[in-house]
Amino acid sequence: MPFALYLLALVIFAMGTSEFMLAGLVPDIATHFGVSVGTAGLLTSAFAAGMLLGAPTMAALTRRLPTKATLLGCVLVFGLAHVAGALTPDFTVLFITRVVAAIMNAGFLAVALGAATKLVAPGATGRAVAVLLAGTTVATVAGVPAGALLGTALGWQSTFWAIAALCVPAAIGIAAGLTTRADESPTAEASAPSLRTELAQLASPRLFLTMTLAALVNAGTFAMLTFLAPIVTDAAGLSQWWVPVALVLFGVGSFIGVTAAGRLSDTRPRLVIVAGGSILLFGWVALAVFATQPVALLGIVFVQGVLGFAIGSTLITRVLYAATGAPTMAGSYATAALNMGAAVGPVLAAASLGSVPGALGPVWVAVITTAAALLIAAPVLRLIAPAKGKISTQS
């Protein structure tokens, strides 16, 4: 894989850490600004809203700009937003910086996913996506706990400064070392289809159904992940200290999942989606049944991390293949599918919390969304694979 991909993964690691780090910083931020914990928690909602808006908006606004310039601009503004957040004495300003950072995050990921297809040979898109998404999984394993420890030791602002500092070598690396086929050919972006033509691709059954499938699988994964803490403490009866252990197990599993799916998503997508999806569904049911058994719970959480991210990253890859008619917007479609699942899943899970004892409502949400995904998988697979079964790199 080209070294430039790992530079992009470094930025995605920093952005992933920023996205999830507030979970351990909200009480300190609330105290610092003299607001309630609930109000401080709105910073998470602000980031989610920015992510949903950022991918299509940034992709549309920057579609005629060079890839390198767009990625570099996103990194610089993202870093400056964290500097402003660390320095501001005003909670409203901090709120705005989170929205700006999220828009840059989504815009970077959308453009980076599109750039990944230009950095590698045809047929290697899945491996490139795996490298990029590994940045997010490493953030959940190492970045978020490290950020929480740093914030506890030196104050919540120190975590913001650390994220900004990570952006410096990443920006230098992108400026010096990123070259895609589009950058080598200045007319490539100008010759892209019109925005209307690219948006019309959303009406394609192959693209629409693949995006829907990706959103459903990710909705289940993030429904459970968001409420893993009460599942560990209420259902399994473990102490709060076991929550980080469960999160790390899930994070390690997710890293293994995206890495293992790197090659398979290009060459054997049906194996990953059908076989992996069936086991994933069985795993969610097993998690609900054995949640009261701590050892079983932790083991299943690890396995579901592997499967959830293996299937999710495979489907993100298939969205990129399905959107080949939208070369400048394909990355935003993949990002939108991921973020839609990440946004809707936790909302459904939150609504289910009081309906099932032991905080297991989110797990049953994962069962339902995964089952729904499997129901529509058959028509999707017929559209992404030739009838003889050999996977085309253009499908």
At residue 235, the pLDDT reads 83
How many structural domains are present in the chain? 2
Are 113 and 129 in contact, with CB atoms under 8 Å apart? yes
pLDDT digits (tens, 9 = 90+) for 258-274: 888 887 877 788 888 88
pLDDT digits (tens, 9 = 90+) for 228-254: 878 888 888 888 778 778 878 888 898
Helix, strand, coil: what percent of the chain each, to 5?
Answer: 85, 0, 15
Q: Are residues 184 and 266 in the same domain?
A: no
Compute the distance between CA of residue 223 and CA of residue 236 in angstroms, rounded to an integer: 18
Which of 90-94, 122-126, 170-174, 315-319 is predicted least confidently?
122-126
At residue 387, the pLDDT reads 35
At residue 190, the pLDDT reads 54
Rounded mean pLDDT of 120-145?
Answer: 79
Q: In which band, very low, low, confident or very high, does the pLDDT at 191 lie, cut at 50, 70 and 90?
A: low
Q: Are residues 65 and 131 in the same domain?
A: yes
Residue 302 has pLDDT above 90, yes or no: yes
Asked whether residue 196 is domain-assigned, the answer is: no
Alpha-helical segments (H) within 21-66: 26-33, 37-61
At residue 278, the pLDDT reads 93
Q: Are residues 65 and 177 in the same domain?
A: yes
Last residue of a domain, one of 136, 161, 191: 191
Q: Are residues 228 and 181 in the same domain?
A: no
Q: Are residues 180 and 260 in the same domain?
A: no
Asked whether residue 355 is domain-assigned, the answer is: yes
At residue 217, the pLDDT reads 94
Last residue of a domain, one of 191, 209, 232: 191
At residue 86, the pLDDT reads 94
Higher pLDDT, 223 or 88: 88
Q: How many CB atoms lie within 10 A of CB 90?
A: 9
pLDDT digits (tens, 9 = 90+) for 212-229: 999 999 899 988 887 887
Asked whether residue 117 is domain-assigned, the answer is: yes
At residue 187, the pLDDT reads 42
Domain range spanning residue 149? 3-191
At residue 54, the pLDDT reads 83
Asked whether residue 251 is domain-assigned, the answer is: yes
From the list 155, 206, 195, 165, the residue with the least C-alpha distance to 75 is 165
Are 171 and 79 in contact, with CB atoms under 8 Å apart? yes
Q: Are residues 94 and 226 in the same domain?
A: no
Q: Are residues 182 and 207 in the same domain?
A: no
Compute the distance between CA of residue 192 and CA of residue 186 in angstroms, rounded to an integer: 11
Domain of 287, CATH number, reads 1.20.1250.20
Q: In which band, very low, low, confident or very high, does the pLDDT at 389 lie, cut at 50, 70 and 90?
A: very low
Q: Are residues 275 and 354 in the same domain?
A: yes
At residue 133, the pLDDT reads 84
Q: Are residues 315 and 248 in the same domain?
A: yes
pLDDT digits (tens, 9 = 90+) for 197-213: 888 888 888 889 999 99
292-312 burial, b if ≥16 CB within 10 A, otherwise e?
A: eebeebbebbbbbbbbbbbbb
Are 169 and 47 in contact, with CB atoms under 8 Å apart? no
